[in-house]
A = this chain, B = another copy of it.
Amino acid sequence: MARQDNAGDRISEAEHAVMEALWERSPLSAAEVCDRVCAERDWSMPTVKTLLSRLVAKEAVGTKPHGRKFLYRPLIERSDYVGGESRRLVDRLFGGRAAPLFAHLAQEEALTDDDLAEIEALLREMRR
């Protein structure tokens, strides 16, 4: 049972920004990724190139040669990443229980009325 490709290597904060760009649209060339993130994060091309290489090394994104350049596309699903990160947080801070997290967000008024409405809807849906 070989280790899952994307299991061991964590995606860092900066790398995550690149992943978001690729999740939003892919495949993209390095230059196109830069177009989408360099301004916001105040990065230069070399930075994006490095992050892309590291993500390729971590097998989080794959490359396909296209003409003279590479096109990059995510190899892991955003929902998997998001789910993993959420689970890690819940495990680490709330003993694996989601209710306390929810309680915390509620207490901090981090929940908007819309959030509440949506969550109620979800609950109703799950009940069925």
A residues with CB within 8 A of B: 13, 16, 79, 82-83, 85-87, 89-90, 92-94, 97-99, 101-106, 108, 110-112, 114-116, 118-120, 122-123, 126
Q: Are A106 and B93 in contact (CB under 8 A)?
A: no
Please list 13 pairs of residues, one from A and one from B, whose beta carbons are closer than 8 Å in the complex, sorted by A's number: A16-B92, A83-B104, A83-B110, A97-B112, A98-B102, A98-B105, A98-B119, A99-B115, A99-B118, A99-B122, A102-B118, A106-B122, A116-B123
Query: Which B residue sits closest to A91, measured CB to CB?
Result: B110
B residues in contact with A92, CB < 8 Å? 13, 16
Residue of B13, B90, B103, B118 touching A118 (CB-CB under 8 A): B103
